[in-house]
Amino acid sequence: GDVLLDVRGLCVEFPAADGRVVQAVRGVSFTVGRGKILGIVGESGSGKSVTSYALLRLLSAPGRVSAGSAVFDGVDLLGVPERSMRRIRGRRIGMIFQNPVGSLNPVLTVGYQMVEAIRTHRDIDRRTAVEISDRVFRDVGFADPAHVMKQYPFRLSGGQNQRVMIAMTMAIEPELLLADEPTTALDVTTQAQVLDQLRRVRDEHGTSIVIISHDIGLIGEISDDVVVMYAGEVCESGPTEQVLREPRHPYTQALLESVPRPETGVTSLLRSIPGELPDPAQESTGCPFAPRCTSAMDVCRTHRPQPLTVSPAWTAACHLYTEERTEATRR
């Protein structure tokens, strides 16, 4: 079909030493279409990264998936043996993480690691691997690939290392690319280059991409579909163009209103939404956004809003719309 990844009801918990259980991800569902770019947006601590780690089965102990499924091309990633998962990770699902330096070996040159990574996953000779390296390094903006290949990671800046990681992932040509804040450490010019490159990978190879970011502007620029997360839950999801043009959920609206504007000098979007994320170890009954929501009603503090269909591919979990519907039925 045209769905490559189907995530249903994903829950992740972290048992704490004092016996409490932190519910980091609570019933998250979304799908990624083949050749589509899905953006997951939310503040840090909203469960975006935990979701991606859970899908790849890379959660660090004692974190664990307590419920849900994640079907990738017919295979439930959460149920297959680790041995099968190792064949999927890297080769079929590529990963680009926030911190590139930890992913590279400090005592080997960038070129050596690049060629080895390509040859581990693709059945090609060394010469072809070097040619591919040269091409993908150019694609991510290195004017002199041969020079970069001779360097050790510590000789490169954080941004350069991130571009190396992106090039490495692209060279392997996975079917799905998971990118967690891939451009956060980069300057504006490099950021644009990397986004262009991700788009090109999708256009030329039909690669599906999940891009995770706190920056709704970036997500709006690159994604076909968007999932907005708050406190471990999906509060709104749907086609990016529609959701960002007419956001239904007050949190999506707040994120959009807080997109940094040069003329106001606001650089951190988090600072402009008053209040903080709820403590994930605290069991809450109502809407998790209620303490910060300017539209909050009594029902918001007592009842958790369920996802409501706005249009076939678009849902929002907010009592404003359930209220509307209830009133409409009463009339």
- Selection from Mg ion, ligand SF4, none that 172 binds (CB < 5 to 8 A by kind) is none
Question: In the complex, which residue's CB is closest to Mg ion?
Answer: 49
Indicate the residue among 111 and 288 with the shorter CB distance to ligand SF4. 288
Q: How far is the CB of 290 from ligand SF4 (least distance, A)?
A: 4
Residues 184-223, one symbol each (x = binds ligand SF4 by CB under 6 A, - = not), give: ----------------------------------------
Residue in this structure with the two tokens 């994120």, named with its chain if needed: 255
Q: For Mg ion, which residue of 31, 46, 49, 191 counts as binding (CB under 5 A)?
A: 49
Q: How far is the CB of 294 from ligand SF4 (least distance, A)?
A: 8
Indicate the residue among 24 and 300 with the shorter CB distance to Mg ion. 24
Within 241-280, the residues that bind ligand SF4 by CB under 6 A are: 249-250
Residues 287-326, one symbol each (x = binds ligand SF4 by CB under 6 A, - = not), give: x-xx--x-xxx--x----x------------xxx------
Q: How far is the CB of 275 from ligand SF4 (least distance, A)?
A: 11
Q: How far is the CB of 54 from Mg ion (least distance, A)?
A: 13
Q: How far is the CB of 277 from ligand SF4 (least distance, A)?
A: 14
Q: How many residues bind ligand SF4 (CB under 6 A)?
A: 14
Work out the burial of residue 250: count CB atoms within 10 Å of its CB; fewer than 13 is exposed, 13-18 middle, 19 or more buried: buried
Secondary structure, 3-state, the chain: CCEEEEEEEEEEEEECCCCCEEEEEEEEEEEEECCCEEEEECCCCCCHHHHHHHHCCCCCCCCEEEEEEEEECCEECCCCCHHHHHHHECCCEEEECCCCHHHCCCCCCHHHHHHHHHHHHCCCCHHHHHHHHHHHHHHCCCCCHHHHHCCCHHHCCHHHHHHHHHHHHHHHCCCEEEEECCCCCCCHHHHHHHHHHHHHHHHHHCCEEEEEECCHHHHHHHCCEEEEEECCEEEEEEEHHHHHHCCCCHHHHHHHHCCCCCCCCCCCCHHHCCCCCCCCCCCCCCCCCHHHCCCCCHHHHHCCCCCEEEECCEEECCHHHHHHHHHHHHC
- Selection from Mg ion, ligand SF4, none that 296 binds (CB < 5 to 8 A by kind) is ligand SF4
Q: Give the type of residue at 45.
A: G
Q: How far is the CB of 229 from Mg ion (least distance, A)?
A: 11
Indicate the residue among 218 and 300 with the shorter CB distance to ligand SF4. 300
Q: Which stretch binds Mg ion (CB under 5 A): 3-11, 49-57, 242-250, 289-297?
A: 49-57
Residues 166-205, one symbol each (x = binds Mg ion by CB under 5 A, - = not), give: ----------------------------------------
Q: Give the type of residue at 230.
A: Y
Q: How far is the CB of 258 from ligand SF4 (least distance, A)?
A: 15
Q: Is the dihedral of CA 282, 287, 293, 296 positive or negative?
A: negative
- Selection from ligand SF4, Mg ion, none that 49 binds (CB < 5 to 8 A by kind) is Mg ion
CA distance 70 to 172: 22
Q: How far is the CB of 229 from ligand SF4 (least distance, A)?
A: 13
> 70, 6 in Cβ contact below 8 A?
yes
Query: Binding residues for ligand SF4, per CB under 6 A?
Result: 249-250, 287, 289-290, 293, 295-297, 300, 305, 318-320
* Binding site residues, Mg ion, CB under 5 A: 49
